[in-house]
Structure 1
Amino acid sequence: MSTAGWRHGARLAGAGVVALGTVLALTGCFGASTDVDSDADGDFADDGCTSVVVATSSEKVNMLDALADAFKESPQHEGLAECATVRPINVSSGDATRFLTAGGDWPDDDARRWPTMWSPASTVWTERVAAAASASLVGEPESFTHTPVVFGVPETMAKALGYPGSEIGITDFEALCQDPAGWASVGKPLWGSFKISKTNPNTSTTGLSAILMQSYEASGKTVDLTAADVAAAAEFSRVFEECVIHYGDTTGKVLNTLYDETQNGSGGSGYVSAVALEETSLLNYNQGNPDSHTVQPGETLTPPKEKLVAVYPSGGSMWSDNPITVLGADWVTEVQATAGAAFAEFLQTDAAQQILPEYGFRPLDESVALGDLFTAEYGVDPAGPAVTLPKPSVDVVSAAIDQWTQIRKPSSVLEVIDISGSMDEAIGDGRSKLDGAIEGAQSTLGHFRSSDEVGVWAFTTGVSSAAGQNIVVLRDVSPLASDRESVDSSLDDLRFADRQGTPLYDAIAAAYEEMTARAEPGRINAIVVLSDGQDTDSTISLDSLIAKIGKESSEGGDDAPVRIFPIAYGEGADTGALQRIAEATGGQWFDASDAAKIDLVFASVINNF
């Protein structure tokens, strides 16, 4: 396909999906970042130089900022006909892959932010775009740094497994998942079940690497993984997935929750036992930057009370090889492409390689010293991993992703949608807030398997149902089966509903009671809340709601916790309250303050299920 044909192809249809069996409350406010993160992405004002935007994953933004500054002083920059300014922006590897393969323009209203270059975490993603769209679109990717995929384990828990003297493998984690005694099987009954956090392999490099590492482990291989090996590993991986607390779109959101629990509790946390992540993310966490955000001048980082230590699985680790390439998209000018190629060349130089370890990345040049950050003090072993697992072929990667779709942990999600009067407000693209919420919820349905449980409630004052006052039940929580069209139609009916007040807290309390009564171990039990405003009509206070939903989230936890994922929709949303509600249950909040991007936010939410 030509780049022109690619650009004018399909445009981001079906980007988001919402899981059922979780309680979903849609209230017009979101508390998490959208796919293209505009926060702390630098000054895009015209400085007289050629602008070279690099779309990259969050953990590389700080490093690329430093490399961009050094580039200005390099011979590669001096060789350009005019000056160039490199500007990194945060876009997850999986999301960038989706944008590039879907066709159309880059999904950002500000064309100044459309990327000249792309630096995903792994060449797995560039190969997928080349196969699905066009090889010319991804140019000639070349790695400039790398970091291994490890399991971050709270140090106290790691020591209970024999760290640092004993080897720990994925099989050991799988055994803890399979054993009903959980932590009690290694003499720690108070810690409850063994809990793993992994990201969604459709959007995250670590999530993708983790499922491939599971297949390597089950096969006993360290090279030449095949699609047949992946198929044979299905039961091993299914058991491993049963330990997952919920999937996330980024590691940073999981680490933020862990960090907050660690800092605000007794120092430990029952939220998670092991997190699949890149070594560089673990180093950021242990320095007090759990989401690997761009550190601002004067910002003080506070290390966690309980650090994570890197477990390099005895069966081997995959590496994120971090390529960079000049895109062959038709919005990239010849001058930008030339400047981008010069920056890519600079990244291979000794001057650039010397900068990488300062930001938790390993240089390709092994003669470059790793420095003080790569030490046990920060939870890592500079000699690890002992075994490197090679990246499989594209067909094997596709087989692993397809298998995960079938064996991932089942979900039970309740979506709770605010239909109060303020949802009639326009969002600037010809749609109202309610239109955006309905279409976002509809787009999530294709994500669920027929066996996943999905329910939909709406809330405002002046209505009632079997679920209680101020609640309308569009669909009881039950297996989705073949009901996608009927759920789609029921969501459309909300456009004609009478819209009055906002009993947000009451609706969440009722949804939580419903979901806890039916929650089962072995499922992701969740509530998704979408709201665009502040509570105006509840009988329960925020503090009372937090006390109600947070009592089962203490250390050890429940075997069937219900987590809440609020979406703060629009500028009037009470983001502080929604964040507190999410944190009380170990969920995550999502920020859709730009209501026009609700489709992207829904896609982010659905990755958890």
Structure 2
Amino acid sequence: MAALLSAVLIAAVVVVWFDLGDAIDRQADDAAAQCVEGPATVPIIADPDIAPGLTAIAEAFAATKPVIRDHCVTIAVRPGDAKITLDGLTGTWETESMGDYPAAWVPQSSVWSADLAAAEPGLIEGNPRSLVSTPVVLAVSPDLARAVGDRLDWSAVPTLQRRDASLTDFDLQGWGSLRMAMPVGAQSDASALAAQAVATSVTRTTGPLTTADAESPRVTSTVRAMLEGAPVSPDGTPQGAATVIADAPDPARSRIHVVPITEQRLYQMTKSDTTARLAELVPGGPTPIADYPIIRLSGEQVSDVAADAVSEFTAFASEPDQLQRLTELGFRGDAPLPEPTATVAFPRTPSPMPTPENGAIVAINRVVYGTAAAPTGPTGAPAPSGAGG
């Protein structure tokens, strides 16, 4: 009888022990769900073109009530100028004027991640990845696009730029030379990416442009030929130059005939046009791509909570329903694109340009942004010094 009673008592103790363990686990889960460490806002700075889409994704992410390391997390996306952001990250971050230090940065292209890696490699956590991209194309008048057709190659651009009356090659009498603007103001990554495409074409490389090739006299002189004499965008941006082309009463006499621009920006400019005022021209050869890299930042100013939140947010943003919030803005990714418009048909990109070596990107940046004329405002006055890619 005593032995039986002991067995019953032991069984009861075991049951109580497991019940207690389950209760503790439930309490831990409840505490996590209630974010016992409080709320945490995680800042991300993004290129102004992609920021609205990322903001919509951040709102959807918040609706899932994410809890990370016992914090209720909110992702706060804000648009930011790339040059100002780069200067802050590599110099002194002024919170009062620039906002909270970001846990991640999504610039327009690897033009900026390469510069950051060259200046402060320790600030980058892991390898940047992209959710979406957009090709760099040439915005031209419909008349010029019809005349050129598929006869323009990136390697021919510098010669057409510097030779007088070069557009007679396409039977365009009285049009003069190519007159391709190379803006260096805000969101002007397309200029540097176009220069990369030209450099890749003239070196005839089948792989990524190397640092040695980018620094060679042949490439440097070729890129400078594109820049010398390039007409100036009225506000230093590709969109400003494209507006000059679109609004010209006589396309032949326009002071700007061509400007490199991202397809996504061209789509946003013209999506409501029922009659095309601009055309999308895709030169032959490797097509440069604006890849919108998600650069996860590291260092003392990025907490473990913020770092984990960026990783979870990126995974969430990669889901098809969330990617569509970006592709519907004209970006290309693993989700449906918008319907073609009078200007942008979203043609297939048969030969995407391999991303150059970081050193090659930096070398081209130095030529493009170091030698091009300073961007000017609509009245001819210098643009704000904060203008950047």
Normalising by structure 1, what TM-score? 0.51
Residues 1:169 and 2:153 are matched in the alignment: yes
Residues 1:61 and 2:51 are matched in the alignment: yes
| 1:258/1:271 contact within 8 Å kept | no
Residues 1:342 and 2:304 are matched in the alignment: no
- Structure 1 position 216, deviation (Å): 0.9
2:73 equivalent in structure 1: 84
1:95 equivalent in structure 2: 84
Give aligned-pair identity as a percent: 21
Q: Could you give the per-residue CA deviations for residues 18-49 of structure 1, whole angstroms, max 9, x where no partner exists? A: xxxxxxxxxxxxxxxxxxxxxxxxxxxxxx95
- Structure 1 position 344, deviation (Å): 1.5
Q: Name the structure where helix makes up a greater proportion of residues.
A: 2
Secondary structure of the residue that 1:381 maps to in structure 2? Answer: coil
Q: Could you give the per-residue CA deviations for residues 407-465 of structure 1, whole angstroms, max 9, x where no partner exists? A: x45x5xxxxxxxxxxxxxxxxxxxxxxxxxxxxxxxxxxxxxxxxxxxxxxxxxxxxxx
State how many pairs are aligned: 349
- 1:155 is matched with which residue: 139, 142, 151? 142
- Structure 1 position 158, deviation (Å): 1.1
- Structure 1 position 58, deviation (Å): 1.3
Unpaired runs of 5+ residues, structure 2, are: 1-37
Q: Could you give the per-residue CA deviations for residues 97-145 of structure 1, whole angstroms, max 9, x where no partner exists? A: 232122x22x341575432221122344334323321334445522211
Q: In 2, distance between residues paired with 1:189 and 1:267?
A: 13
**Distance change >3 Å, CA 90–CA 589, structure 1 → 2:** farther
Secondary structure of the residue that 1:70 maps to in structure 2? Answer: helix
Q: Which moved more, 1:305-314 or 1:50-59?
A: 305-314
Residues 1:131 and 2:118 are matched in the alignment: yes
Residues 1:71 and 2:61 are matched in the alignment: yes
**Distance change >3 Å, CA 257–CA 194, structure 1 → 2:** closer
Q: Name the structure where strand makes up a greater proportion of residues.
A: 1
Q: How does 1:514-525 map to 2 (within 5 A)?
A: none
Q: How does 1:193-232 map to 2 (within 5 A)?
A: 193-200=177-184, 204-230=188-214, 231=216, 232=218
- Structure 1 position 59, deviation (Å): 0.9
**Distance change >3 Å, CA 259–CA 207, structure 1 → 2:** closer
1:388 equivalent in structure 2: 352
Q: In 1, distance between residues paired with 2:382 and 2:83?
A: 20
2:223 equivalent in structure 1: 237
Q: In 2, distance between residues paired with 1:119 and 1:402?
A: 21
Residues 1:369 and 2:336 are matched in the alignment: yes
Q: Give the residue type in structure 2 aligned to 1:398.
A: V
- Structure 1 position 60, deviation (Å): 0.8
| 1:147/1:321 contact within 8 Å kept | yes
- Structure 1 position 309, deviation (Å): 2.5
Q: In 1, distance between residues paired with 2:245 and 2:283?
A: 26
- Structure 1 position 170, deviation (Å): 1.9
Q: How does 1:165-564 map to 2 (within 5 A)?
A: 166-200=150-184, 204-230=188-214, 231=216, 232-246=218-232, 253-256=237-240, 258-259=242-243, 262-263=246-247, 266=249, 270-287=254-271, 303=273, 306-363=276-333, 365=334, 368-372=335-339, 375=340, 377-383=342-348, 385-404=349-368, 408=371
- Structure 1 position 280, deviation (Å): 0.9
Secondary structure of the residue that 1:196 maps to in structure 2? Answer: coil
- Structure 1 position 387, deviation (Å): 0.9
**Distance change >3 Å, CA 172–CA 63, structure 1 → 2:** same
| 1:174/1:240 contact within 8 Å kept | yes
1:415 equivalent in structure 2: none
| 1:94/1:204 contact within 8 Å kept | no
| 1:222/1:388 contact within 8 Å kept | no
- 1:602 is matched with which residue: 382, 385, 388? 385
| 1:195/1:274 contact within 8 Å kept | yes
Secondary structure of the residue that 2:200 maps to in structure 1? Answer: helix
- Structure 1 position 361, deviation (Å): 0.8
- Structure 1 position 61, deviation (Å): 1.6
**Distance change >3 Å, CA 190–CA 49, structure 1 → 2:** farther
Q: Could you give the per-residue CA deviations for residues 292-315 of structure 1, whole angstroms, max 9, x where no partner exists? A: xxxxxxxxxx64964332222211
Q: How does 1:555-574 map to 2 (within 5 A)?
A: 565=376
Q: In 1, distance between residues paired with 2:221 and 2:363?
A: 15
Normalising by structure 2, what TM-score? 0.77
**Distance change >3 Å, CA 83–CA 378, structure 1 → 2:** farther
| 2:110/2:291 contact within 8 Å kept | yes
Q: Give the residue type in structure 1 aligned to 2:358.
A: V
| 2:233/2:240 contact within 8 Å kept | no
Unpaired runs of 5+ residues, structure 1, are: 1-47, 288-301, 412-523, 527-564, 567-578, 591-600
Secondary structure of the residue that 2:308 maps to in structure 1? Answer: helix
Q: Give the residue type in structure 2 aligned to 1:156.
A: D
**Distance change >3 Å, CA 354–CA 254, structure 1 → 2:** closer
Secondary structure of the residue that 2:50 maps to in structure 1? Answer: helix
Q: In 1, distance between residues paired with 2:186 and 2:89?
A: 14
| 2:136/2:262 contact within 8 Å kept | yes
Q: In 2, distance between residues paired with 1:285 and 1:202?
A: 16
Q: Give the residue type in structure 2 aligned to 1:401.
A: N
Q: In 1, distance between residues paired with 2:98 and 2:291?
A: 29
- Structure 1 position 226, deviation (Å): 2.5
**Distance change >3 Å, CA 84–CA 64, structure 1 → 2:** same
Q: Give the residue type in structure 2 aligned to 1:284.
A: Q
**Distance change >3 Å, CA 83–CA 156, structure 1 → 2:** farther
- What's the C-alpha RMSD, in Å, of the aligned pairs? 3.4
Q: Could you give the per-residue CA deviations for residues 247-284 of structure 1, whole angstroms, max 9, x where no partner exists? A: 7996xx34135436745x63857142111121111111
Residues 1:146 and 2:133 are matched in the alignment: yes
Q: Give the residue type in structure 2 aligned to 1:64.
A: L
| 2:139/2:281 contact within 8 Å kept | yes
